[in-house]
Structures are given as C-alpha cells and as structure tokens.
Amino acid sequence: MAEPPSVVSFLSDYGTRDEFVGVCKAVMMRLAAGVVIVDVTHDVAPFDVRAGSLTLARAAQYLPPGVILAVIDPTVGTARRAIAVEVETGFLVGPDNGLLAPAVAMLGGASRAVSLTNTDYHIEAAGPTFAGRDIFAPAAATLATGVELFDLGDPIDVHGLMPSILPLTRPHGDGIGGEVLWIDRFGNAQLNVEPDELSQLGFSVGAAIEVKVRDQTRLARWVDTFADARPAELVALVDSYGLIALALNQASAAEALHLQANTPVNLSPPS
Amino acid sequence: MAEPPSVVSFLSDYGTRDEFVGVCKAVMMRLAAGVVIVDVTHDVAPFDVRAGSLTLARAAQYLPPGVILAVIDPTVGTARRAIAVEVETGFLVGPDNGLLAPAVAMLGGASRAVSLTNTDYHIEAAGPTFAGRDIFAPAAATLATGVELFDLGDPIDVHGLMPSILPLTRPHGDGIGGEVLWIDRFGNAQLNVEPDELSQLGFSVGAAIEVKVRDQTRLARWVDTFADARPAELVALVDSYGLIALALNQASAAEALHLQANTPVNLSPPS
Amino acid sequence: MAEPPSVVSFLSDYGTRDEFVGVCKAVMMRLAAGVVIVDVTHDVAPFDVRAGSLTLARAAQYLPPGVILAVIDPTVGTARRAIAVEVETGFLVGPDNGLLAPAVAMLGGASRAVSLTNTDYHIEAAGPTFAGRDIFAPAAATLATGVELFDLGDPIDVHGLMPSILPLTRPHGDGIGGEVLWIDRFGNAQLNVEPDELSQLGFSVGAAIEVKVRDQTRLARWVDTFADARPAELVALVDSYGLIALALNQASAAEALHLQANTPVNLSPPS
C-alpha cells in the first residue's frame, strides 16, 4: 500500500474568480492539518474533461507522491460515480468520467479503487451541487491523513473505470493524419504525433513537412528548438513532453494557423 | 479570546497580473514565520465591495480558524477606517466599508474590534496608497502570531461597524421580487431567494415557475440537481449554499437570460 | 555567504491555464522537502522581459530571504545563459536576459554568479524546451536546500550579466519627457518620473501639470492620494513605490488616456 501522503495536487475547471478553489483547500486544511496543496491549474475550460485529462497526464509524472484531486464534473448529480483510485505513488480522487484515466495510466495503472459512498466522509451541505467541496476534497484530505482506502466506500473493479478516449493518428495519403491535443499559453500546438511516426515516414530534423489544416497548406521545418526558427517561420519540433508540436519563434502558431484543441492536422512530404 | 491562529485566508480585488498579492503574502511570511495562507480569490471585480462581501460570506463557514484578510478598498486614503474584528473563530482584517460585515455575521458576530491606528505595526512606504501591503497584511500577520488585538489600535464599538446592504426580496404581484446575487464561473445565477419563500408561494420541486427578467418571460422547472435539466431547459434549484439559483445543464443561464449581479428577477406562478 | 534559504519566490510568464507553474512547483517540492513557494505573479505578458523585470524589482524588497526564481525566456534554446546570482538576501535564478538585473540592483548587487552548466542538477526530459521545469526550478530548489552555489555550474563574472535597459527621463521643452513603466490592474499608470524631478521644475502638491500623450493634452492635479481626486479628475500622485503615477479616482487612467507600458508621456507647466 502507498505511504500515507501529505501532499494534495489539485486540478479543476473552477477558475479563480469564485471562491470554489479556496473553499476546497480550506476544507482539506481543516481535515488534514499540515497538508500541502499544489495547484496544477484551475483554468481548464468549464466542463472540458478531455483537456483536463491531458493536462493531468502531462503533469502526473512530476507531481509529488501523495494525492491527486481532479474535479471537472459536467455530469455532477447523475449516476456517474465519485471515485478514489490507488496507484503506486498514492491516490487519485475525482469523478469517474475519464478525467483520471490518462494520469492513472501514466502512473503505472490502478491497483485498487473505491466508489466514495461512505457518507461519514462527506460534508453535509445545504444543496446537492458542490461535490468538490462536499465529497472530493474531503476524500482527498482523508487519504492524505493515511485513512485506509476501503474505509471511504465500496471497492470497485479497477478495470471498470471510465476510460479516456484519446485520438489515434491514422495514415493519410503518403502522410499521417493527426490532431491538436493542446494549445499552450504561448500558442504552441501539441499534436498527437510522436517523432517516431515522422521518422518512419522518412523525415528527419531539418526536413520540410507539409502541414494541412482545413484548406490551408503550409510548410514547416523540423527543428530542434524554438530558437532555430527564423522570424515568422513555421516549425515542427519535439516538445518538452516528447510529442510533435507546431510553433513559431516568439509568436503563436495557433493564431497563425487558426488551430485549437481537436483541429485535424495532416503531415506529409511536400508535394 | 480566540486561540493564536496561524492560518490567514486572503481575499482581494488585486487580481494576479500584478505583484500585489505576492507582496502581501511575502509581508505576512516575514512577520509570521510559518503562517499558512489560503487564497479565497483575488479576482473580485475591481472596487466591487458587494461582490467581495458575498464571496467572503459564502466561504466563511468553511475557512480554517484563524485570520481572514479581505481587501477591496475603493475609498483608500479617505476617512474610512482600517479595522480588525474578533469573532469566535479568529479575526477579520480589512477596510470598514461593509466588506467584512456579512462574513462577521455568518461567523456569529463580532466580540471586539479595533481601528488599526498603531503605526508600530504598519510598514513604512514611499507612498500612501498600498494599504494592503502596509497596514492590512501586517495586521493580519501580527494577529496570526498571537499578538493581543488591542495592541493594534484603538478599540471601537462593534455596533458601529459599517453594515453591508444586502437586498431583501419583496412581494411582487402573486409572486416574489428578487435579484441576482452572484453569477458563478459556470453561468449559474444565484438569487437572493430562499427555497422557503418559494414553498410559501405553493411551489414544490417539479413545479413550473415563471421567471421575469426585464421584458423577458421564461418558464423554469424547479429541480433537485443540474442533471435533472433537459438540454437547454431553464431550471431553478437549491444551490450548494441553500439559495435558489437559475441554471442550465452544462451551459450558462446568465448568458441565456442576460443576467448579471443585481439584475432584478421576479418569480411567480405561470400566468 | 547567505544562509540556506527555504523560501522560493516565483515569477514567470507561464500563466495559470496550463500546468507549467504547478509542475515547476512540484519539481521544487520533490527536490527540497518543506520548501515554501510564494507566487509573485505568473501573468506577465508572454515574453515581456521588461515588464517582468519591473514587477520583480517592485516586489524584491518585500520578498522573504531565500531564492527568487524568475522565468521569462523568449530566447530559450539559444546561447543565452541560465544563471544563478547571489545577493545579500539569497539567490536569484533565471535566464541571463536582463530579467533579474533590476531586482539584483534593488537587493544590493551581486556577489557571485554561476552559469547553470552542471547537468547533474538538471532534470532529463523528452524535449529541450521547458527550461523552467528542467533547469531553473531544480536550481532554485537545490539552492533552497543549502547546496553551495558553485556546485551548480561555472562561476561567471557578476559584471558580465545582461543589464536591463530602463528608460531615463529627459528634458522636454520647459518640462520633462518620460514614459509609462506599468499599468496596474486598476488602470493607474506609473511613470519613470520621480517626485524630485517634478519639484525641480517648480511643481508642488496641489499644482496643475500639463500632461501630453501623443496629440492629447490634459491637465492633472498633483495630489497626495486617490481620494483627493474629484470624480473624473485626472491626478498625479506619488505611488506606493515612490514614483509619479497618473490616476483617476475609482476609474482607469490608462483607459481614459489610452496609455500602455512604454507610452511616452510629457509633463510640463500649463501653457
């Protein structure tokens, strides 16, 4: 079993304009004296489970051992389960809607899981709608204090957790059909394409790649780092997570190409 | 008297783009080694004392015992007092402009209060305008270290603190006239209407309620939870704070009805 | 030599929408158990080294002794050095692009510095582009644990660090030519003008000052504090950092005068 953790890493779509995040933290601090809380981000777009799951997966390997609390919960109040999942480095707590799945996989898979049905660990509230405050944060804090996982609710099958639907690439003409996973703050567009997939097409660093987005066609040069891009030159590079990203040097590739998450992007040899 | 607290919960309208929040925290950390600071929110609209006071009141019952530091201070530099107020769970520190009043009431009322006139506890600065950094944060940190309240300034009458003007509902035809207190990040619109007020009008869960906003009239169904709403169906529900809110399932009721804080909303039986 | 610090004050242009800040903090917490991290701000405009350097300089004197981690790094991947600089209160870590220079000066100047070339203290990553996570945060955490500065890389000449180019005022007609350094959240516009410079022109508090911005000319009254301004009256005042700012009472001077950082502003006696 994992060591009793005392760090909670926290991700949500709560934003920071309301008191939601502060209240969840306060709840955890009251239940787990001395707990340390790390904000992964709270600015995931409202209800965007896919974006949140990818953000969590990118962060997971760097987070301290302990508890990961993730709340993006568009179907709060339905039959979707509230769960806690044990992994080698600790626990993940959140709704069973696919949000946790990629991070669980990144952390080596689930060993045990429960549905958070034990109401002794819930906070009573005037209304039914704030599961972060009343169910998830208390569960995360409780696990952080070392309470046994199975005390929090009914054991569930780790193979029955909601999976995440991550897009696969597919062959497209003499190239590869992918899509945008993530636009970061600087406008870099991470694709679901691995460098090996480009290598197998015969590309190597320095090569020109034809990039097709909707009805636009542009050339990108495969470079090692942002700084290798000439002003306004579109480049492809291996980003800090090991995936291919489209980028401009000190400018936004997403703006220039009208890219957003999910936009299909085809890469092929120049025609 | 309250136990010496070591947690400061911090709310402001400083935003997070400038260094204001970070500097106030740094000031507190230097004055109170080991203090733990919880951000309630810093994204209250600039100068919006009413919104801040409501946010603080919603959060108050969940915050750890200790000090609450709240700074929204449009009349900084005038005769408005800088105050610290003792409640059962600790202290509230901020300007005497109504910002603290609803939270003080929520926490059981004030037992003692001071005007922060003792300049020994102020930080000297090049200019007179940053009271958060120079007066309020030092006072909060000082109280967190257990210094006696009356050391910080002149005792003042707890009954003489600036009250908050919260809007009451009123009868309106055969219904009730209320207004929007708060639009949350997800576009849910909390009203100043309690479920009891609807029950007294003969409504119960499942009933249709006529919602009048300016010259629009719409029907809302009273449901238990967001998930009970059909796509695009306007619903009323008891929110997580026990007040009636207007909501859409996974969409923004505020956008759909052009609601904002203060917008009058009348609820009545369908005509 | 400085005492081993255990606080890291952190500024960046990473924003809070992605996981960048959370991951850098997580990396530091894993390397330096018990480290306390203070966010100065992460919402500096992307790549805006000048704005970040000014923000850091304004905050520096208030930050706890320890490490300052600052990452705004438009030329990541080029020959620009990654550095750590020792000052009396601790260390500053960041790119050698002028970002740290004003804060170093504010803290009394650099005693020693290294280029962060010792890869034993870097984190290995799939790609070369996230220096914050892989080089800067590990260096900051390592220094926070008390490791000797010179272990982190090759000593470099403290006089060879990239300076910051801060704009000087110049005489302009019978007045002074300055520019906007900073627009804060409330729309106040801090200028690079010191009150002494106005006094030398014969101005004193209460005087009318002619403000020229592009082809607009307006009068501002020199007042002591925001609250002295009449509704819609443009005022000049000494701000909380000791510089002259243009302000409106509870409104945005920046919006009213179309000011932004770098906008030239001339101050002179009324014509």
Which pLDDT score, from 0 to 100, does residue C66 have? 96
Cβ–Cβ < 8 Å for A63, A9: yes
CA distance to A110, A152, C267, per residue, from A113 (Å): 7, 10, 68
Mean pLDDT within C19-45: 96
What domains can be seen in chain C, in order of their start residue?
7-160 (3.40.50.10790), 170-268 (2.40.30.90)
Give the B:C interface size as CB pairs under 8 Å: 97
Backbone φ and ψ of C245, nearest 5°: -125, 150
Residue C76, chain B, CB below 8 Å: the answer is no
Helices (H), A185-244: 195-200
- Whole-angstrom Cα distance, residue A7 to residue A243? 29
Chain C segment 119-178 residues within 8 A of A by beta carbon are: 125-130, 133-134
Chain A residue whose CA is closest to B43: A17
Question: Among C18, C29, C126, whose Cβ lies nearest the Cβ of A184?
Answer: C18
- Whole-angstrom Cα distance, residue A124 to residue A121? 9
- Whole-angstrom Cα distance, residue A57 to residue A39? 15
- Whole-angstrom Cα distance, residue B252 to residue B4? 43
User: What would the pLDDT profile of A156-210 be if each residue is shown by its tens digit?
Assistant: 999 999 998 888 999 999 999 999 999 999 999 999 999 999 999 999 999 999 9
Instruction: Give, in degrees to the nearest 5, the angle at Cα B140 between B1 and C17.
Output: 130
| CB atoms B26 and C9 under 8 Å | yes
Mean pLDDT within B205-229: 94
Interface probe with B: pick from C41, C67, C230, C260, most Cβ of B within 10 Å: C41
| Tokens coding B98 | 């109504």
Looking at CA atoms only, how far is residue A178 from chain B in angstroms? 28
Q: Where are the beta strands (DSSP E) in C47-102?
A: 66-71, 82-87, 90-95
- Whole-angstrom Cα distance, residue C146 to residue C156? 20
| CB atoms B226 and A129 under 8 Å | yes
Which pLDDT score, from 0 to 100, does residue B75 have? 84
Residues of C in contact with A59 (CB under 8 A): 19, 22-23, 26
pTM of the model: 0.94
Residues of C in contact with A16 (CB under 8 A): 16
User: What would the pLDDT profile of B103-118 be if each residue is shown by its tens digit?
Assistant: 999 999 999 999 999 9
Binned at pLDDT 50, 70 and 90, residue A231 comes out as confident
- Whole-angstrom Cα distance, residue C8 to residue C64? 8
Residue A73, chain B, CB below 8 Å: the answer is no
Binned at pLDDT 50, 70 and 90, residue A5 comes out as very low
Q: Report which residue type is found at C43.
A: D
Residues of A in contact with C134 (CB under 8 A): 240
| CB atoms B75 and C227 under 8 Å | yes
Residues of C in contact with B29 (CB under 8 A): 7, 36, 38, 64
- Whole-angstrom Cα distance, residue C116 to residue C81? 8
Which pLDDT score, from 0 to 100, does residue B192 have? 97
Question: Among C7, C41, C227, whose Cβ lies nearest the Cβ of B18?
Answer: C41
| CB atoms C19 and A58 under 8 Å | yes
Residue A241, chain C, CB below 8 Å: the answer is yes
Surface-to-core class of residue C108, CB atoms within 10 Å of its CB (0-12 exposed, 13-18 middle, 19+ buried):
exposed
Residues of C in contact with B7 (CB under 8 A): none
Helices (H), A13-148: 20-31, 49-60, 101-106, 131, 137-144
User: What would the pLDDT profile of C137-162 be if each residue is shown by its tens digit?
Assistant: 999 999 999 999 999 999 999 999 99
Which pLDDT score, from 0 to 100, does residue A4 have? 38
Looking at CA atoms only, how far is residue B135 from chain C in angstroms? 12
- Whole-angstrom Cα distance, residue C28 to residue C24? 6
| CB atoms C26 and A38 under 8 Å | yes
Cβ–Cβ < 8 Å for B269, B210: yes
Residue A100 CA, chain-centre distance (Å), reads 8
Residues of C in contact with A250 (CB under 8 A): 47, 74
Q: Which of C211, C205, C210 is nearest to C224 (CA)?
A: C205
Interface probe with A: pick from B186, B196, B243, most Cβ of A within 10 Å: B186
Residues of C in contact with B38 (CB under 8 A): none
| CB atoms A250 and C74 under 8 Å | yes
Chain A segment 42-71 residues within 8 A of C by beta carbon are: 42-44, 55-56, 58-59, 62-64
Backbone CA torsion sign across C253, C256, C258, C263: negative
Proportion of chain C above pLDDT 70, given as a percent: 97
Residue B36, chain A, CB below 8 Å: the answer is yes
- Whole-angstrom Cα distance, residue C206 to residue A198? 69
User: What would the pLDDT profile of B148-191 be if each residue is shown by its tens digit?
Assistant: 999 999 999 999 999 987 889 999 999 999 999 999 999 999 99
- Whole-angstrom Cα distance, residue A58 to residue A150? 28
Q: Which residue has the higher pLDDT, C236 or A232?
A: C236
Interface probe with B: pick from C8, C235, C240, C248, most Cβ of B within 10 Å: C240
Cβ–Cβ < 8 Å for A83, A59: no
Give the A:B interface size as CB pairs under 8 Å: 97
**Which residues lie below 8 Å from residue B200, measured CB to CB, with a gap of 6+?**
none
User: What would the pLDDT profile of B35-88 be if each residue is shown by its tens digit?
Assistant: 999 999 999 999 999 999 999 999 999 999 999 999 999 988 778 999 999 999
DSSP letters, A37-60, are EEEEES-SPTT-HHHHHHHHHHHH
Sheet order of strands, C82-87 included = C36-41, C7-12, C66-71, C90-95, C82-87, C112-115, C154-155
Cβ–Cβ < 8 Å for B228, B235: yes
Looking at CA atoms only, how far is residue B158 from chain A in angstroms? 27
